[in-house]
Amino acid sequence: MKLNVQYIHLTKIKPDYTIRLTDHVKMLKNRMWDSMHMLVVKQDKKNGFKIICGNDRYEYLTKHTKNKYALCLIDEQPRKKETKNWLQSLSKEREEQDKKLFKKVSPAALSIIKCFLKENPRFHELSLSKRLKVLLLAVRYKKTVIGSMKTKVDNLME
């Protein structure tokens, strides 16, 4: 386990009240008690830090002192072990795949999507997975049109 102690500007630190109390967090909390105003933080993606332990100390430093920096114990545990970050990495991979898919979309399909979005504002109320299902109809517009034409012929033959 890697731990690093350094002073961090208070504007880069954000409190996080949703941290679960795991064995790792308990161990970090015990180490935090060695110092009066030490915070335990983890670096986030935007060059900032989220508080793991010491939200009350952070509030004290920001409201009752003139300190600009806080002594922080930085947890450098790999993010792979955290379920939340693992799920986020999966969703990022999915977004990248979707971007690649839409780069291959024909101009005709894009035109269909634009017209549909103008005419149907309820589309934005759907969940992401349902939106993708609807948009895939436009991406596969040839198959969709041929399928609906076959259905129409079958209905007219009866």
Render pLDDT for 56-113 as a digit per residue (tens, 0 to 9).
Answer: 888 888 888 888 888 888 887 765 455 555 555 556 666 676 666 666 667 777 777 7
Largest CA distance in the chain: 84
Token representation of residue 111: 């035109």
pLDDT number for residue 88: 59
Contact 83, 46 (CB under 8 A): no
Percent of the chain with pLDDT over 70: 77
Q: CA 124 from chain center: how many Å?
A: 19
Instruction: Considering only residues 83 and 140, tell me which one the structure prediction assigns the higher pLDDT.
Output: 140
Q: How far apart are CA 46 and CA 12, in angstroms?
A: 9
Q: How far apart are CA 72 and CA 58, in angstroms?
A: 10
Contact 40, 75 (CB under 8 A): yes
Q: Which of 70-74, 117-121, 138-142 has the lowest mean pLDDT?
A: 138-142
**Nearest residue to 82 via CA among 90, 94, 74:** 90
